[in-house]
């Protein structure tokens, strides 16, 4: 279970957000550009520090400024897929997926087993030896997802995973995300712009507007526009 | 009823040029411009090669002073480059990723040796490290001499050549997509591992190009070296200094070393071009 109470002063507004996600569920974060969605993910991942509040994952506190608790990024065990997938272009698909496992110092045999499992799960069998720079957008997203879950994270976060994908790849990646979250029984936060995607993939949703929670509820009922500033919650 | 507007009639006078001729003239003008600039730059270099013969060149190559200058230049330049890479890379990384008071001044100081006359650089180094210099007097009290030694050659080369590498490295690290680094960190990599396995390989092409330029600048260093290190054969007489001596006392030696420097410089520039052409697609 992920629980976060976050407050952080940003340039144009203060981000104030409380959220919780249960294992096996997907929370969709929506909102206009610069509403604080990616900042929220970065705070949970440890790339940014909140001014006040806390982030708790599976019962342990990752960050709580008042108690001077701040677990380093590399020890949080959070699978984070960035907007551009950030697949390491100089490494092969196999090396990308193995990267986190090597960083954690796992035995070679275990790394090989886990990578081969991920390659199969992400349908990347024929691309294992291909350099990541030669992959398509959809393939990169699958590599990024496989790499993120290979480390057996306690939380999966994805920032705009469908933004550069065509309809076919979007459907395939959505299917994979749902499969992975259910199989691993971990909470997942997904940032997207498209209302249709949110309604389809999410369990719950939060619509942010200038750092404040504008709407929260079942993702099937996300409003098309924000009632405060009438900015679109996302594109249809 | 409005009168129909007539299109202006262009009369072709006997002196006017057709489109074909105009284009030909443009090509001719461009060719003359390119040829004249190329010749201006290439002729002095070519003159060096025309002035010698292969036999004379090979005979001069066995001159102990040439060998000594060549050896000294190569070893000092390699040492200087190693120091610049080992210190400059982490410096450029930390500098590009942090904000601190006076950063603009540090930036300017990094670039200063690029515009400073090398003789001034040498003079400044002498004032600092010379026997009566600001720091030199303390070194002298400890029995350490820096000025007019091989160490002085290396210090001078590092001073004038390091900006070529540091500027390049700084710019690469500033433009680098940090999402790669963040991803590596979330996957469990420490900051050092992230730097060594992600940042460094993805900026290697640009860093290599900066290193090659730095090596070339160190190899060709003259002004600061002669002011700070002097011109002692076998100790501080690098190739450019030997060329200067050769011009006065041994023309063939000067010619041979000059040709060697031209060849090395050409190889350096070709290397930079090839490295740059291969590109830094991920940086």
Mean pLDDT rounded to a whole number for chain B: 90
Q: Please state the rounded mean pLDDT for residues B141-146.
A: 93
pLDDT tens by residue, B173-205: 999 999 999 999 999 999 999 999 999 999 999
The residue in chain B having the minimum alpha-carbon distance to the alpha carbon of residue A90 is: B202
**pLDDT band at A176; cut points 50, 70, 90:** confident
Shortest alpha-carbon distance between residue B186 and chain A (Å)? 5
The answer to whether residue B31 scores a pLDDT higher than 70 is: yes
Q: Name the nearest CA neighbour of A97 among A137, A138, A133, A140.
A: A140
Task: Tell me if A169 is assigned to some domain.
Answer: yes
Measured between alpha carbons, how far is A151 from A167 in angstroms, rounded to an integer? 28
The answer to whether residue A55 scores a pLDDT higher than 90 is: yes
Task: Tell me if A116 is assigned to some domain.
Answer: no
| Percent of chain B with pLDDT strictly greater than 70 | 92
**Distance separating the N- and C-terminal Cα atoms of chain A:** 30
Measured between alpha carbons, how far is A199 from B232 in angstroms, rounded to an integer? 80
Q: In angstroms, what CA-CA distances link B39 with A38, B42, B44, B53?
A: 57, 5, 9, 22
**Contact check, Cβ <8 Å, B189/A90:** no
**pLDDT band at A180; cut points 50, 70, 90:** confident
Q: Please state the rounded mean pLDDT for residues A151-169.
A: 87
Question: Residue B283 has what pLDDT?
Answer: 39
Q: Structural domain boundaries of chain B?
A: 19-51, 54-278
Task: Tell me if A136 is assigned to some domain.
Answer: no
Q: Please state the rounded mean pLDDT for residues A52-72.
A: 93
Candidate from A42-56, A129-143, A217-231, B126-140 with smallest mean pLDDT: A217-231
Which CATH number is correct for B54-278, 3.40.50.11540, 3.20.20.100, 1.10.3720.10, 1.10.3210.10? Answer: 1.10.3720.10
Task: Tell me if A32 is assigned to some domain.
Answer: yes
Q: Please state the rounded mean pLDDT for residues A125-146.
A: 91
Q: Name the nearest CA neighbour of B225 among B164, B116, B152.
A: B152
Question: Residue B9 has what pLDDT?
Answer: 54
- Residues found in chain A: 236
The answer to whether residue B278 scores a pLDDT higher than 70 is: no
pLDDT tens by residue, B72-81: 999 999 999 9
Partner A contacted by B282 (CB < 8 A): yes
Residues in a beta bridge with A19: A4
What is the pairing mode between strands A52-57 and A155-159?
unpaired
Total Cβ atoms within 10 A of residue A163: 17
Partner A contacted by B186 (CB < 8 A): yes
Question: Residue B6 has what pLDDT?
Answer: 60
Task: Tell me if A212 is assigned to some domain.
Answer: yes
Structure tokens at B121: 């650089």
What ipTM did this prediction achieve?
0.89
Shortest alpha-carbon distance between residue A227 and chain B (Å)? 33
Q: Please state the rounded mean pLDDT for residues A8-25.
A: 92
Q: Name the nearest CA neighbour of A142 among A179, A101, A113, A109.
A: A179
**Contact check, Cβ <8 Å, A80/B281:** no
pLDDT tens by residue, B13-25: 555 678 888 899 9
**Contact check, Cβ <8 Å, A133/B281:** yes
Q: Tokens 């600039």: give the residue.
A: B37
Q: Which of B180, B187, B202, B205 to mutate to probe the A interface, most A CBs <10 Å?
A: B187
Total Cβ atoms within 10 A of residue A89: 18
Residues in a beta bridge with A27: A189, A204
Partner B contacted by A152 (CB < 8 A): no
Q: State the virtual CA torsion across B95, B96, B101, B104 in degrees, nearest 10.
A: 100
Q: How many domains does chain A have?
A: 1
**pLDDT band at A169; cut points 50, 70, 90:** confident
What is the maximum alpha-carbon separation in chain B? Answer: 107
The answer to whether residue A182 scores a pLDDT higher than 70 is: yes
B180 CB neighbours in chain A (<8 A) are: 86, 88
The answer to whether residue A232 scores a pLDDT higher than 70 is: no
Q: Please state the rounded mean pLDDT for residues A41-50.
A: 94
Q: Please state the rounded mean pLDDT for residues A65-71.
A: 92
The answer to whether residue A94 scores a pLDDT higher than 90 is: yes
Question: Residue B127 has what pLDDT?
Answer: 96
Q: Please state the rounded mean pLDDT for residues A80-95.
A: 93
Is the distance from CB of B162 to CB of B113 less than 8 angstroms? yes
The answer to whether residue A234 scores a pLDDT higher than 80 is: no
Is the distance from CB of B130 to CB of B149 less than 8 angstroms? no
Measured between alpha carbons, how far is B211 from B239 in angstroms, rounded to an integer? 20
Task: Tell me if A114 is assigned to some domain.
Answer: no
The answer to whether residue B112 scores a pLDDT higher than 80 is: yes
Candidate from A131-140, A147-156, A224-233 with smallest mean pLDDT: A224-233
Strand ranges inside B49-176, DSSP E: none
Angle (nearest 5°) at CA A71 between B282 and B96: 35
Mean pLDDT rounded to a whole number for chain A: 89
Q: Please state the rounded mean pLDDT for residues A191-212.
A: 88
Task: Tell me if A22 is assigned to some domain.
Answer: yes
Full residue range of the structural domain in which residue A173 is found: 2-84+155-221
Q: At A59, which CATH number?
A: 3.40.50.300
The answer to whether residue A227 scores a pLDDT higher than 70 is: no
């Amino acid at each position: 279970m992920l629980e976060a109470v976050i407050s952080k002063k940003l340039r144009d507004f203060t981000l104030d957000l409380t959220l919780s996600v249960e294992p096996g569920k997907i929370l969709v974060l929506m909102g206009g550009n610069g509403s604080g969605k990616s900042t929220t993910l970065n705070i949970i991942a440890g790339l940014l520090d909140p001014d006040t509040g806390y982030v708790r994952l599976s019962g342990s506190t990752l960050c709580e400024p008042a108690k001077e608790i701040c677990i380093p990024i590399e020890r949080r065990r959070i699978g984070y897929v960035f907007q551009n997938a950030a697949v390491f272009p100089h490494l092969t698909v196999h090396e990308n997926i193995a990267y986190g496992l090597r960083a954690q110092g796992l035995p070679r045999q275990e790394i090989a087993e886990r990578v081969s499992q991920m390659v199969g799960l992400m349908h990347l069998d024929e691309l294992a030896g291909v350099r990541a720079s030669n992959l398509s957008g959809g393939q990169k997203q699958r590599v990024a997802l496989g790499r993120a879950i290979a480390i057996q994270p306690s939380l999966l976060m994805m920032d705009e995973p469908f933004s550069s994908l065509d309809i076919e790849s979007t459907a395939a990646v959505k299917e994979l995300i749902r499969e992975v979250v259910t199989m691993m029984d971990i909470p997942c936060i997904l940032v997207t712009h498209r209302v249709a995607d949110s309604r389809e993939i999410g369990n719950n949703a939060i619509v942010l507007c200038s750092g404040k929670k504008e709407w929260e509820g079942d993702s099937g009922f996300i409003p098309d526009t924000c009632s405060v500033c009438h900015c679109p919650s996302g594109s249809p | 009823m409005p009168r129909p507007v007539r299109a202006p009639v262009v009369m072709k006078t006997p002196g006017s040029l057709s489109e074909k001729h105009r284009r030909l003239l443009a090509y001719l003008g461009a060719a003359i411009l390119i040829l004249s600039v190329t010749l201006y730059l290439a002729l002095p270099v070519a003159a060096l090669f025309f002035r010698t013969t292969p036999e004379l060149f090979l005979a001069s190559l066995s001159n102990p002073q040439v060998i000594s200058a060549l050896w000294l230049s190569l070893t000092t330049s390699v040492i200087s480059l190693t120091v610049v890479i080992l210190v400059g890379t982490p410096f450029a990384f930390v500098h590009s990723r942090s904000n601190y008071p006076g950063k603009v001044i540090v930036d300017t100081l990094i670039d200063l040796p690029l515009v400073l006359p090398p003789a001034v650089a040498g003079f400044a180094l002498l004032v600092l490290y010379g026997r009566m210099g600001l720091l030199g007097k303390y070194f002298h009290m400890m029995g350490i001499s820096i000025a007019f030694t091989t160490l002085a050659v290396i210090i001078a080369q590092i001073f004038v050549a390091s900006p070529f590498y540091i500027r390049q490295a700084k710019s690469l690290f500033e433009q680098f997509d940090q999402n790669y680094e963040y991803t590596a960190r979330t996957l469990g990599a420490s900051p050092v591992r992230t730097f060594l396995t992600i940042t460094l390989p993805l900026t290697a092409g640009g860093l290599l190009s900066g290193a090659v330029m730095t090596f070339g600048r160190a190899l060709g260093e003259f002004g600061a070296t002669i002011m700070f290190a002097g011109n002692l054969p076998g100790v501080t007489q690098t190739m450019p200094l030997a060329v200067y001596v050769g011009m006065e006392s041994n023309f063939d030696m000067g010619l041979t070393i000059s040709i060697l420097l031209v060849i090395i410089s050409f190889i350096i520039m070709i290397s930079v071009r090839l490295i740059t052409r291969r590109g830094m697609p991920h940086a």
